[in-house]
């Protein structure tokens, strides 16, 4: 019997249908010579510290570090019944096809079961990019050898063991140090979560330390041959800051007087440059999460759940946890089938299809840039829009539009930069003339840094020496603005592009702007975990770090919270996958590093973190836990200016 081992029941049903395995069994579907079964995510988990010794049941600095000599896994109690099913089927199987998700974690879900159940037979790998029937049949006709993806398993094990070593040891260490300082909460530390938290803490600090500075702009309304346009005054170099802003009001007022008395402005120079913007590529998961956060207000976990539903339930789009935005050149042959499916799904697209050029071969078709997965695109089978929720449909339409944009021309425009002189003062203006709307007629993406007040001006009547009438001069009083709080989409982008935040030139070079914190599959879960544990507070779309989070980031060694170092660890996992680094060498290095940290940090004294409380009913800011004669209570963090209090119910007090 050949056994297909899937990741989820829905995935198992889709594959079983194609294989003709339709008879229901206990936790499986049975065919003539084939059986399909499934996990329910991870059926196994790395054993807890107490499994390695009774002494680890209690938390003590004397018992740290905890470094297993022989790693153990345990069956999750909630899914023990399905584990028994798989164990029995593996004992009967003559061959196994791993059909879990085509990624690092999917490989681990299957391989850890094979190892625990001591399966020693032949193994093949089904590598799926979509769960529609055509994609399943295509993948079944080109099964990979088990050896081809085996190192993915070692990469996942390395990730799992490194996470365990850091999480179990450092969470106990800093929680115990916190208790020594009088804090009775848990200070959780994670290999990925702590550097992610650091990104938000750093932004909070930048906002808190920001000092707003006034500056002044002079806007000049001009016209030439009846065409009005707006120019901006250029302050002299001696009167501007590094961003080119005028910080002296008197200087701006003097400029207004000179310009007003000048009556006309003369064009000194004029330079026009043509730009061609290619259509944006299809989405990878991080970019989809970022765009859905910005445009639709969706959380990153919400976006992942929707993308997973579009893939699994609706069969409308391809594998969502992709880290790639390109498509294999062979998939260009599937364009007619995708188009037909899209039209059957939504006949209202007919006018749009009349503008598409199916022969266009955009930059998206590039074998050299395709990783284990390709960009997220529509499948070759029609979907049912009526069965989608409103949010599912919105995300689906974003994915669809980015695919269709590949068959529209580049967006082309002329950008004109003009310098003028008036009353001895220099002015500048920018104009833009769209020549070919191209893909922007279907999908608007802000892909260039336009000047907000001048981006839509057309300046084709201007030439060098042209005299322009001064119609009005306006002084604008401005203030520099603090950085904005991060949203979930911003945080996903920062996690992915962490190299931009790394100061060490050697690390920056090594990262090459490609490696980030976490993976496409894990980033949403990391952010959700930080929110669920109270480290991140969410107000509308903005994320802020709690007081405990600030204390933790201040206390942990720099390397533990360094986004650049975490990205290097992720790169090491890629090295394991490529066979250039062994699992044992990586874990040994991590264990040694943990032992050094425990020894170094054991004598630290932590500042007691302030527990994040409810919002003050008077002034709408976060409250802090305080002790009074009658016990603890919540007090406004603006005390004594605000004396708002909220009682703490007995059943919520910490013992």
- Domains of the chain in sequence order: 2-142 (3.40.50.140), 161-209+484-601 (1.10.460.10), 214-278+414-479 (2.70.20.10), 285-407 (1.10.290.10), 613-652 (no CATH)
Picking from 455, 585, 605, 491, the residue whose alpha carbon sits closest to that of residue 196 is 491
CA dihedral 640, 642, 643, 645 (to 10 degrees): -130
As given in the structure block, the two tokens for residue 26 are 């206990």
Q: Above 60 in pLDDT, residue 336? A: yes
Residue 119 annotated in active site = no
Picking from 91, 11, 84, the residue whose alpha carbon sits closest to that of residue 44 is 84
Residue at token pair 């960009």: 375
- Tell me, rounded to whole angstroms, the distance of Cα 599 from its chain centroid: 34
Residue at token pair 């259509």: 279
Q: How far apart are CA 450 and CA 550, in angstroms?
A: 37
- Tell me, rounded to whole angstroms, the distance of Cα 407 from its chain centroid: 27
Q: pLDDT, tens digit, for every residue of 192-202?
A: 899 999 999 99
Q: Above 50 in pLDDT, residue 653? A: no
Contact criterion met (CB below 8 Å) for 569 and 191: yes
User: What is residue 153's predicted lDDT score, i.e. its pLDDT?
Assistant: 95
Q: pLDDT, tens digit, for every residue of 223-234?
A: 999 899 999 999
Contact criterion met (CB below 8 Å) for 441 and 416: no
* Distance linking the first and last C-alpha atoms of the chain: 56
The one catalytic residue among 119, 153, 183, 319? 319
Residue at token pair 């802003």: 245
User: What is residue 620's predicted lDDT score, i.e. its pLDDT?
Assistant: 63
Q: pLDDT, tens digit, for every residue of 14-46?
A: 999 999 999 999 999 999 999 999 998 789 999
Within 10 Å of residue 326's Cβ, how many Cβ atoms? 20
Against a cut of 0.85, is the pTM above it?
no
Q: How far apart are CA 173 and CA 169, in angstroms?
A: 6
Confidence of residue 650 (pLDDT cuts 50, 70, 90): very low
Q: Tell me the range of 110-124, 494-508, 630-644 where mean pLDDT is highest.
A: 110-124
CB-count burial class (<10 Å; 0-12, 13-18, 19+) for 2: middle
As given in the structure block, the two tokens for residue 210 are 């920001």
Residue at token pair 């050094």: 596
Q: How far apart are CA 507 and CA 497, in angstroms?
A: 13
Picking from 129, 90, 128, the residue whose alpha carbon sits closest to that of residue 111 is 90
């Amino acid at each position: 019997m050949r056994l297909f081992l899937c990741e989820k029941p829905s995935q198992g049903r889709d594959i079983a249908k194609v294989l003709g395995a339709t008879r229901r069994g206990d936790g499986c579907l049975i065919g003539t010579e084939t059986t399909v079964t499934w996990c329910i995510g991870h059926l196994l988990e790395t054993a807890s510290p107490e499994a390695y010794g009774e002494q680890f049941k209690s938390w003590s600095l004397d018992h740290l570090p905890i470094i297993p000599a022989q790693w153990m896994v345990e069956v999750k109690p909630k899914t023990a019944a399905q584990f028994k099913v798989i164990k029995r089927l593996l004992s009967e199987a003559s061959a196994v096809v791993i059909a879990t998700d085509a990624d690092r974690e999917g490989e681990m879900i299957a391989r850890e079961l094979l190892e625990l159940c001591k399966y020693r037979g032949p193994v093949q790998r089904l590598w799926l990019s979509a769960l529609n029937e055509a994609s399943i049949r295509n993948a079944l006709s080109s099964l990979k050898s088990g050896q081809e993806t085996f190192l993915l398993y070692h990469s996942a094990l390395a990730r799992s063991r490194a996470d365990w070593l850091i999480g179990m040891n450092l969470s106990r260490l800093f929680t115990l140090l916190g208790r020594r300082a009088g804090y009775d909460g848990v200070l959780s530390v994670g290999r990925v979560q702590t550097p992610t938290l650091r990104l938000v803490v750093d932004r909070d600090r930048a906002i808190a330390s920001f000092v707003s500075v006034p500056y002044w702009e002079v806007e000049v309304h001009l016209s030439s041959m009846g065409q009005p346009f707006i120019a901006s005054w250029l302050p002299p170099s001696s009167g501007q800051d590094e961003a080119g802003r005028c910080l002296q009001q008197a200087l701006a007022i003097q400029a207004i007087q000179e310009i007003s008395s000048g009556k006309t402005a003369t064009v000194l120079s004029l330079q026009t440059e043509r730009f061609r913007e290619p259509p944006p590529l299809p989405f990878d998961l991080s970019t989809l999460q970022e765009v859905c956060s910005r445009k639709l207000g969706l959380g990153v976990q919400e976006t992942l759940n929707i993308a997973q539903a579009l893939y699994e339930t609706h069969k409308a789009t391809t594998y969502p946890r992709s880290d790639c935005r390109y498509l294999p050149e062979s998939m260009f042959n599937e364009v007619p089938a995708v188009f037909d499916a899209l039209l059957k799904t939504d006949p209202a697209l007919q006018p749009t299809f009349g503008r598409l050029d199916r022969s266009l071969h955009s930059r998206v078709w590039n074998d050299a840039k395709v990783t284990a997965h390709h960009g997220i695109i529509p499948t070759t089978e029609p979907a049912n829009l009526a069965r989608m929720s409103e949010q599912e449909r919105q995300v689906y339409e974003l994915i669809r539009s980015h695919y269709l944009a590949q068959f529209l021309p580049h967006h082309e425009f002329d950008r004109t930069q003009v310098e003028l002189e008036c009353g001895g003062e220099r002015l500048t203006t920018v104009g833009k003339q769209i020549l070919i709307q191209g893909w922007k007629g279907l999908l608007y993406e802000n892909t260039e840094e336009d000047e907000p007040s001048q981006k839509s001006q057309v300046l084709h009547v201007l030439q060098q020496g042209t005299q322009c009438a001064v119609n009005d001069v306006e002084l604008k009083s401005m203030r520099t603005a603090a950085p904005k709080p991060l949203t979930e989409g911003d945080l996903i982008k920062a996690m992915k592009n962490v190299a931009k935040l790394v100061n060490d030139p050697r690390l920056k070079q090594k990262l090459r702007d490609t490696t980030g914190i976490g993976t496409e599959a894990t980033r949403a879960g990391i952010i959700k975990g930080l929110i669920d544990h109270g480290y991140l507070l969410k107000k509308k779309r903005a994320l802020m770090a709690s007081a405990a989070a600030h204390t933790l980031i201040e206390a942990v060694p720099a390397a533990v919270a360094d986004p650049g170092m975490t990205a290097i660890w992720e790169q090491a996992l890629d090295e394991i996958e490529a066979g250039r680094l062994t699992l044992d060498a990586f874990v040994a290095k991590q264990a040694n590093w943990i032992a050094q940290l425990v020894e170094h940090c054991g004598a630290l004294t932590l500042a007691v973190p302030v527990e994040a409380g409810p919002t003050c009913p008077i002034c709408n800011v976060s409250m802090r836990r305080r002790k009074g004669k009658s016990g603890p209570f919540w007090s406004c963090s603006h005390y004594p200016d605000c004396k708002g209090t909220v009682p703490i119910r007995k059943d919520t007090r910490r013992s």
